[in-house]
Amino acid sequence: MPATPRTAAAPAARRRGTVARSVHDSLVVARRNLIRMLRIPEVVIFGLVQPVMFVVLFSYVFGGAIPVPGQDTADPVVYREYLMAGIFAQTVTFATAGAAAGIAEDMHKGLVDRFRSLPMSRGAVLTGRTLADLVQTALTVLVLVGCAVLVGWRIHDGFPRALAALGLLLLLGYAFSWIGALIGLSVRTPEAATSGGLVWLFPLTFVSNAFVPVGGMPGWLQTVAEWNPFSATVLACRQLFGNPEGTVSDAWPMQHPVLASVLWSVAILLVFRTLAVRKYRSAAV
């Protein structure tokens, strides 16, 4: 019996209803987490202290000691402009630890069981949490931009390109927040989630072009740094900000950093969102 237009449209209507419900539930959970941040402002304040310290310490402690390729001597002003894209990228990725700890805390307090009792989309819990973390990350980046301007950092290629660079940073941070979500679901305590969210970020951020040119690294380490997704975003931001880039290698991500940054971030987002939602569903059984 051929399907009537009404019966054929029913599955599509149900899919639209499911998507709309998932979006609504995600926004409700995001609002819940944002309200929690406002009620505990010290979480946001302490989250701002570390990146601001990095800006000041790296600018004034290392600024006169590390030469940027293309410069005859170590120029603190040039190094600050070279440095800031790396600090911005490090800040958005370090938000992974906060996402991991927050989700682990919700699991530890039994909020997962409470959410299970509600008629809501399963993936909305994690999506709402990561969206709230994205808002906090955006606030942190704005504060860092103001701090960077105070120490001498400038953009040179116009405001629209600078906004594009900030968009790449937030995309990277959002993708990494899903790694934090997976870590938070995989450990038993918030303390373990914080450690698990940080321990792998240090080699990721320092084996890159964020703070020093990769030309001084051993050959095999240079290859790792050049194909590091973190390095692609840092170089893309330097290009969009109009800041010194240092020596750019022949590796494909370094020749096409903007495209490489987008591809890396989208791939990380898709893979770890899938794994995190699957882990959440299995943990909630």
How far apart CA 51 and CA 66 sit, in angstroms, is 20
Per-residue pLDDT reduced to its tens digit, 197-254: 788 888 899 899 888 888 878 888 999 999 999 999 999 999 999 988 877 788 999 9
Per-residue pLDDT reduced to its tens digit, 150-197: 888 889 888 999 999 999 999 999 999 999 989 988 887 878 887 887
Of the candidates 51, 58, 50, the one whose C-alpha atom is nearest the C-alpha of residue 81 is: 58
C-alpha 98 chain-centroid distance: 11
Which helix (H) or strand (E) segment holds residue 204: the answer is: helix 201-206
Please answer whether residues 79 and 63 qualify as being in contact, where contact means their C-beta atoms are separated by less than 8 angstroms: yes
Domain range summary for the chain, segments of one domain joined by +:
23-283
DSSP 8-state symbol, 200 = T
Q: Which of 101-110, 113-122, 167-176, 190-199 has the highest mean pLDDT?
A: 167-176
Note every long-range contact of 199-203, with CB atoms under 8 Å and residues 24 or more positions apart, other chains counting: 201/93, 201/94, 201/96, 201/97
Tokens for 155? Answer: 């953009």
How far apart CA 95 and CA 120 sit, in angstroms, is 26
Residue 17 binned pLDDT confidence (cut-offs 50, 70, 90): low
pTM of the model: 0.86
How far apart CA 62 and CA 240 sit, in angstroms, is 24
Average pLDDT over residues 141-152: 89
